[in-house]
Amino acid sequence: MNEPFIDIDSPIHRTSPAVRVAVAFLLSLVTALAKTPVVPLAALVLGVFSVLVARLPLGAVAKRLLPLCFFLILLWVVLPFTGGGPVLHTFGPLTVKADGLNLALLISLKAFSILLVLMALVSTLHTFAMGHALYALGMPEKLTFLIVMSARYISVIEREYQKLRNAARMRGFQPDTSLHSYRTFAHLAAMLLVRSHLRAGRVYNAMVLRGFDGRFRLLTDSRPEGLRGCLPQTAVMAFSVVVLVALEVAVRMGWGLFNC
Amino acid sequence: MHISEGVLSAPVLIAGAVVAAGGVAYGLKRMDGEGTVSAALVTSAFFVASLIHLNIGPASVHLVLNGLVGLVLGWAAFPAIFTGLLLQALLFQYGGLTTLGVNTVVMAAPAVAVSLMLSPLITRKGRMGAVASFGCGFLAVFFSSLLLAAALVFTGENFKVIAWASVIGNAPVMVVEGFFTAFVVSFLRRVYPELLLCLTPEPPQMEERI
């Protein structure tokens, strides 16, 4: 699959995977639960900063933000006309309400900042490193196994799909809006399922031969080495989490300065 | 089908996470070593299949396939869909980490419900089986869109319009999904019936009469 964000050398890429996943999760949580735009705004700044520090290719970043933009356009078309609050503007029968407008703004800020943080901290991980990190953070063994295993085989099964798709194309199949087209794709998907199931049997047998007993063991070198070699980054990330949490607490306590 | 980050309120997110954790834990409990390996590979197959786009007139929709996931995996649909969503969040940033629980419930709960309700009927030959498998695909997406709408409405009154729009907007997807599921099931029934949970024969029961 396309993974443009890994294999870059940056301070973020050198940070321990478990730290990155934990920080990304905590930052997303604080941002998602924020009541005012203060914390999401701070998170947005943090997100842009992390994307720059991680030296991600900006074209790919923009491309991944595109689906979110479509969703937000829909939101901005509907939300400003709902809710209560003072009326800001009138278009014929529709009135723009302050509440709805604020909500749309808040959601957009939150969504963008969370996505940027996620991209910089988590999408920069190899899937396997992420599996190890999740396991280190307390994800059940079997679930980690399921995640790592299916991540491993997505590219293999994607190749199977391309093979089947090419075979169909060779026979002159052109997708259109018809039952024939749907049936063709359905048979293709079903064949994909059959092949993946058969392959699973072979993979399982091979694993049993090598001593698999249903337990998932971590043997790779990329095992999270704790905080060794990434103390400064970890400190900065932990500090940013603390700052955002403190900011949100301050806002909720009604600290006058931030009540905008 | 998923809700974006930053939309839902804390109670909805927490409720989603709790229900999802329960479902995932139960699904995992029902899988043994071999079952986990085949669930993993079938999950990757569903991941790839969900990238297929079908044309509806000038537009195109991508498949949800949760009805089919339910039929093939049963309760393992919870861990499988959780895995799929986590990998989507990681690989393409569709959805994020805080909404993972809600989105898992939105997609997996209908999958399990549909498989429990309709899998006995799928085995029927002829029109009954075809209608049941159409219903599987159709209803799974329908229930999902209702759950999604409920999550939005519980978050705030402001989202009522968007919630209804998403149910109505998903109507064409439900129909396409219904046909797609019916075709897949009819193919599997002829080619590889082991894959449909409900079609696997019961293990032979030892009776006293020998």
Q: pLDDT tens across B3-19, in order?
A: 888 888 889 999 999 99
Interchain proximity A122–B90, CB inside 8 Å = yes
The predicted pLDDT at position B209 comes to 44
Q: Is residue A186 part of a domain?
A: yes
Q: Are residues A119 and A144 in the same domain?
A: no
Q: Are A101 and A84 in contact (CB under 8 A)?
A: no
What phi and psi values does residue B159 have, to the nearest 5 degrees? -90, 5
Q: Is residue A214 part of a domain?
A: no
The predicted pLDDT at position A10 comes to 84
As a whole number of Å, the CA-based R_g of chain A is 24
Alpha helices in chain A (DSSP H): 17-33, 38-53, 58-78, 98-121, 127-136, 141-170, 179-209, 231-252
Rounded distance between C-alpha atoms, residue A213 and residue B32, angstroms: 10
- Residues with Cβ within 8 Å of A52's Cβ and at least 6 positions away in sequence, in order, are none
Could you list the beta-strand ranges (E) of chain B.
53-56, 59-62
- Burial label for A179, CB within 10 Å (0-12, 13-18, 19+), is exposed
Q: Are residues A45 and A106 in the same domain?
A: yes
Interchain proximity A67–B6, CB inside 8 Å = no
- Residues with Cβ within 8 Å of B10's Cβ and at least 6 positions away in sequence, in order, are A33
Mean pLDDT of B166-183: 92
Interchain proximity B156–A203, CB inside 8 Å = no
- Indicate the number of domains in chain A: 2
Q: Are residues A241 and A122 in the same domain?
A: yes
The predicted pLDDT at position A167 comes to 95
The predicted pLDDT at position A226 comes to 59
| Greatest Cα pair distance in chain B | 68
pLDDT tens per residue across span A217-243: 765 545 555 566 777 888 888 888 888
pLDDT score of B203 more than 50: no
Q: For the whole model, what pTM was predicted?
A: 0.89
What are the pLDDT tens digits along chain A (260 aa)?
567 888 888 888 888 888 889 999 999 999 988 888 888 899 999 999 999 988 889 988 898 888 888 888 888 888 888 777 777 777 777 778 888 888 889 999 999 999 999 989 888 888 888 888 888 888 888 899 899 999 989 999 999 999 999 999 999 998 888 899 999 999 999 999 999 999 999 999 999 998 888 777 765 545 555 566 777 888 888 888 888 888 888 888 876 555 54
As a whole number of Å, the CA-based R_g of chain B is 18
Using the structure block, give the residue that is written with the tokens 């991540």.
A151
- Looking at A82-96, A183-197, B36-50, B83-97, which range is the least confident one? A82-96
Handedness of CA B90, B152, A30, A39 (dihedral sign): positive
Burial A83-99 (b: 16+ CB within 10 A, else e): beeeeeeeeeeeeebeb
Quick one: CA torsion of A217, A221, A224, A229, rounded to 10 degrees? 160
Interchain proximity A31–B6, CB inside 8 Å = yes
Q: Are residues A103 and A195 in the same domain?
A: no
| Contact residues, chain A, for B22 at CB < 8 Å | none
Name the pLDDT band for B135 (thresholds 50, 70, 90): very high
- Residues with Cβ within 8 Å of A3's Cβ and at least 6 positions away in sequence, in order, are A123, A126, B91
Using CB atoms, which residue from B56, B72, B93 is nearest to A115? B93
Q: Is residue A1 part of a domain?
A: no
Mean pLDDT, chain B, as a whole number? 87
Mean pLDDT of B93-111: 90
Interchain proximity A64–B165, CB inside 8 Å = no
Rounded distance between C-alpha atoms, residue B116 and residue B23, angstroms: 14
Name the pLDDT band for B188 (thresholds 50, 70, 90): very high
Name the pLDDT band for B201 (thresholds 50, 70, 90): very low
The predicted pLDDT at position A1 comes to 56
Nearest residue in B to A175, CA atom: B55
Q: Are residues A117 and A193 in the same domain?
A: no
Amino acid at A237: M
CATH classification (class only), B10-197: mainly alpha
- Residues with Cβ within 8 Å of B23's Cβ and at least 6 positions away in sequence, in order, are B75, B78, B104, B105, B108, B109, B112
Q: Are B136 and B53 in contact (CB under 8 A)?
A: no
Name the pLDDT band for B125 (thresholds 50, 70, 90): confident
- Residues with Cβ within 8 Å of A160's Cβ and at least 6 positions away in sequence, in order, are A192, A195, A196, B48
The predicted pLDDT at position B207 comes to 47
Q: Are A118 and B89 in contact (CB under 8 A)?
A: yes
Q: Are residues A201 and A248 in the same domain?
A: no
Amino acid at B93: Q
Q: Is residue A11 part of a domain?
A: no
| Contact residues, chain B, for A65 at CB < 8 Å | 93
Q: Are B53 and B60 in contact (CB under 8 A)?
A: yes
How far off is chain B from A85, nearest CA to CA, in Å? Answer: 12
Q: Determine which helix (DSSP H) or strand (DSSP E) holds B147, and give its type and residue range.
A: helix B127-155
Tokens of B139: 């209803």
The predicted pLDDT at position B202 comes to 47
Using the structure block, give the residue that is written with the tokens 């339910």.
B70
Q: Are residues A27 and A121 in the same domain?
A: yes
| Contact residues, chain B, for A214 at CB < 8 Å | 32-33, 36
Q: Is residue A12 part of a domain?
A: no
Interchain proximity B4–A71, CB inside 8 Å = yes
Interchain proximity A143–B82, CB inside 8 Å = yes
| Contact residues, chain B, for A202 at CB < 8 Å | none
Rounded distance between C-alpha atoms, residue A233 and residue A227, angstroms: 9
| Contact residues, chain B, for A161 at CB < 8 Å | 48-49
Q: Are residues A62 and A151 in the same domain?
A: no
- Residues with Cβ within 8 Å of A85's Cβ and at least 6 positions away in sequence, in order, are A97, A98, A99, A100, A102
| Residue to substitute from B158, B175, B196, interface A, most A β-carbons within 10 A | B158
Q: Residue A70 sits in which domain range? A: 17-126+228-258
Q: What percent of chain A has pLDDT over 70?
A: 92
Q: Are B17 and B103 in contact (CB under 8 A)?
A: no
pLDDT score of B120 more than 90: no
The predicted pLDDT at position B105 comes to 96
Q: Are residues A74 and A202 in the same domain?
A: no
Rounded distance between C-alpha atoms, residue A47 and residue A27, angstroms: 10
> What is the value of ipTM here, to two decimals?
0.89
Q: How many CB pairs under 8 A join A and B?
A: 234
Q: Are residues A86 and A180 in the same domain?
A: no
Alpha helices in B50-126 (DSSP H): 66-73, 77-92, 100-122
Q: Are residues A182 and A237 in the same domain?
A: no
Q: Are residues A32 and A110 in the same domain?
A: yes
